[in-house]
Amino acid sequence: MRYTLPSRKEWQTLFDNLSKAERVLFIGLFLTAWTAGVFVLIGLDSDYSTKLPAPGGSITEGIVGTPRFINPLLAISEADRDLTRIIFSGLMKADGRGGLEPQLADNFVISEDGLTYTFTLKEHLYWHDNVPVTADDIAFTIELTKNPKIRSIKLAQWEGTEVKVIDEKTIQFILQRPFSPFLENTTLGIMPKHLWENIPAEQFALIDLNTEPIGSGPFFIESISRTGTGIITKYTLERFNRFVPRAHLKRVIVRFYQTDIELEKALEGGIVDAGSADINKVPKGLKRLDVNLPLIVGVFFNQDQYTPFKNASLREALHVATDRERIIESARGGNAVATSLPIPPGTFAHAGSLENTEYNVERARQILTDAGITDSEEDEDSIVEIKVSKTEYAPVRFKLATPENPEFVRTAELIKSMWAEIGVEVTIERFEQGDLEQSIIRTRDYDALLFGQVYGYETDPYGFWHTSQSKHPGSNIALYANTKVDSLLDAAHKAISRDRREELYTFFQEAISEDRPAVILYSPSYVYYVPVGLLGIDLRQIPFPQERFTDIEHWYIHTKNVWNIFAP
């Protein structure tokens, strides 16, 4: 027997034959059934579907500075480095959790002796002008970096490294000796050979490709806005659809500001919805992310210029007379972790059991007294005096150089007042960042220096504490010289095992803690504001501020429901 549904005419006839009460009842039952069905479908959708990122949406990032070299070999300012990170890709990249992961690379193999690194590229890699990315581009970029005429800031990282192109998808790096942090070097942004190979070295820093770059990253430059005098005020970046995985956001707009205060006002006024700034209250519509940075801030003693610092008791007393928690609260708004160690907290090599951030003014005074560093009764000041020859004493009075930066200036003022409590007089000298680096740090012309050390991807302290790095361009700003420490750092460079490096770095931190060549203060966090509705951003620890963009292709605003059976 065959059954068919009533036709529309038959339904109409049936409805017309119903009484008024029956019609009301029928409509009521129909609406009840329809509503129940909707709720059943909603329940099924909730139970058996998943919210996934959907394409579309945009964010507007605010950055302090003006871009000049959006070029992996020349980028020096924050504006340069931020845009370089979005537009270019490296073989490897930061993973946002303190480690590294492949970007252009599909995989890599390290030889047993730690001298040969072989990388295989992913399939379907393209430049923003749709030319394929090959191993030749990588070899070309490294050779450019090694060319002294280019004056790349990355030159030292690649000196002595032999580069071999095996085929268009395979490249090999051969080191002269094992170097455990080598993978960090491979985060270098790769440049397109077909656009740069005919550019003379003397023109390298002058051509428009430095501000209108072609990269292989998740976003490309769609348009540039300039003032009437040609100063860049805004970049509009569009999603590059051939990047794998394709970004969810359609557009990233980057606006530039001359000062931190201007950026703060732009965030508070809703002109930009992403950026890093020192704001007391989270602006409406934004959320705050606190990201760990492998960076330490401290006061580094130049014992060659101010000889009283050669006295170990004086250095220890200054260490004990420093209230780190007060500094963090006043100068950083609480956004930092107190530390006394040269390797930042949160990194694999930080020896937390060695931490000693004790603040005790009375103990500091006693340390000085026991060492014969006391206030002379013959003068009316309260400055302690230290023996500088067999018969001569001199007041402990020195200059502290610091960047002209609110955080560092406030920290310097606090240190000055704290150390005055134990009879040490500090005069603060403030310098613009460029002047400080060129005229003061480069020449090592300071008694003491309040400064930060950024440890990067692999937590390698060699450049900051090895004797060979005491002169420019080395970063041993304490001019620290210790043969035992040199041996430990040399051994750590050769150690392939992470466990062995951690052991060596623990011994290194013990030695620094005994010698106190600096008063290490704190490790700051990176404060980053983004829209409340921005999802997919997972930053826990980044080596440099620009690495906040390391997973920008995974950020999203829009979502879609997908039945679980169809979800990836």
450: left (phi over 0), alpha (psi -120 to 50) or beta: beta
Pick from 113-122, 153-162, 163-172: least confident: 153-162
Nearest-angstrom CA–CA distance, 365 and 422: 6
Mean pLDDT of 149-167: 91
Considering the chain, what percentage of its residues have pLDDT values greater than 90?
71
Mean pLDDT of 61-78: 92
pLDDT band at 4 (very low <50, low <70, confident <90, very high): low
**CA–CA distance from 333 to each of 325, 329, 344, 406, 526 (Å)?**
10, 5, 19, 12, 12
Nearest-angstrom CA–CA distance, 194 and 137: 8
Pick from 45-59, 518-532, 549-563: least confident: 45-59
- Smallest Cα–Cα separation from 475: which of 159, 187, 156? 156
SS3 for 82-99 is HHHHHHCCCCEEECCECC
**Within-domain flag for 4:** no
Phi, psi values for residue 150, rounded to 5°: -75, -25
pLDDT at 560 over 60: yes
For position 391, what pLDDT does the model report? 81
pLDDT band at 44 (very low <50, low <70, confident <90, very high): low
Mean pLDDT of 30-57: 70
49: left (phi over 0), alpha (psi -120 to 50) or beta: beta
**Within-domain flag for 272:** yes
Mean pLDDT of 509-521: 97
pLDDT at 138 over 90: yes
pLDDT band at 491 (very low <50, low <70, confident <90, very high): very high
Phi, psi values for residue 10, rounded to 5°: -65, -40
**Within-domain flag for 243:** yes
For position 151, what pLDDT does the model report? 87
**CA–CA distance from 55 to each of 48, 216, 248, 257, 326 (Å)?**
22, 20, 5, 29, 46
Q: Please report, for the domain that includes residue 472, its CATH number.
A: 3.10.105.10
For position 157, what pLDDT does the model report? 86
Residue 10, burial from CB neighbour count under 10 angstroms (0-12, 13-18, 19+): exposed
- Give the count of domains, the chain: 2
**Within-domain flag for 464:** yes
Cα 57 from chain centroid (whole Å): 25
CA dihedral 399, 403, 404, 408 (to 10 degrees): -90
For position 39, what pLDDT does the model report? 61
Residues 385 and 310 in one domain: yes
- Smallest Cα–Cα separation from 128: which of 167, 79, 89, 102? 89
For position 484, what pLDDT does the model report? 97
For position 259, what pLDDT does the model report? 86
pLDDT band at 79 (very low <50, low <70, confident <90, very high): very high
Mean pLDDT of 80-87: 96
Phi, psi values for residue 464, rounded to 5°: -95, -20
Mean pLDDT of 262-267: 94
For position 389, what pLDDT does the model report? 83
DSSP assignment of 313-330 equals HHHHHHHHT--HHHHHHH
Nearest-angstrom CA–CA distance, 486 and 231: 47
- Smallest Cα–Cα separation from 341: which of 98, 478, 545, 514? 514
Residues 471 and 488 in one domain: yes
- Of residues 289 and 381, more confidently modeled: 289
**Within-domain flag for 346:** yes
Residues 266 and 332 in one domain: no
Q: For the chain, what is the mean pLDDT?
A: 91
CA dihedral 459, 465, 471, 474 (to 10 degrees): 0
End-to-end CA distance of the chain: 45
- Smallest Cα–Cα separation from 295: which of 93, 547, 559, 16? 547
Q: Can you give the residue range of the structural domain that contains 168?
A: 58-285+532-566
Nearest-angstrom CA–CA distance, 98 and 107: 19
Residues 303 and 269 in one domain: no
Residues 241 and 304 in one domain: no
pLDDT at 513 over 80: yes
Helix (H, G, I), strand (E, B) or coil at 138: helix
Q: Which residues pair with 425 in a beta bridge?
A: 397
Q: Please report, for the domain that includes residue 161, its CATH number.
A: 3.40.190.10
DSSP character at residue 386: E
Q: Cα angle at 546 between 549 and 170, to 5 degrees? A: 70
Nearest-angstrom CA–CA distance, 57 and 54: 9
Specify the DSSP element, H or E, that contains 515.
helix 498-515
Please say whether the beta carbons of 552 and 538 come within 8 A: no
- Of residues 397 and 76, more confidently modeled: 397
Residues 98 and 238 in one domain: yes
Residues 261 and 308 in one domain: no
- 186-243 pLDDT per residue, tens: 999 999 999 999 999 999 999 999 999 999 999 999 999 999 999 999 999 999 999 9
pTM of the model: 0.78
Please say whether the beta carbons of 267 and 275 come within 8 A: yes
Residues 511 and 382 in one domain: yes
For position 36, what pLDDT does the model report? 67
Mean pLDDT of 237-266: 95
Residues 560 and 430 in one domain: no
Residues 483 and 507 in one domain: yes
- Smallest Cα–Cα separation from 532: which of 273, 351, 318, 339? 273
**Within-domain flag for 510:** yes
pLDDT at 173 over 90: yes
Tally of residues, the chain: 568
Mean pLDDT of 337-342: 96
| Cβ neighbours for 372, distance < 8 A, ≥ 6 positions apart | 386, 387
Q: Cα angle at 197 between 192 and 202, to 5 degrees? A: 115
Residues 360 and 507 in one domain: yes
Report for 33-37, 487-491, 543-547: range of highest mean pLDDT: 487-491
DSSP assignment of 41-94 equals HHHHHHHHEEEEEES--EEEEEEES--S--STTT--SHHHHHHHHHH---SEEE
**Within-domain flag for 38:** no
**Within-domain flag for 495:** yes
**CA–CA distance from 175 to each of 100, 157, 182, 226 (Å)?**
20, 11, 9, 44
Nearest-angstrom CA–CA distance, 261 and 530: 18
Pick from 131-135, 244-248, 351-355, 387-391: least confident: 387-391
Other Cβ atoms within 10 Å of 57 Cβ, number: 17
- Of residues 2 and 66, more confidently modeled: 66
DSSP character at residue 230: S
Residues 63 and 126 in one domain: yes
Please say whether the beta carbons of 135 and 121 come within 8 A: yes
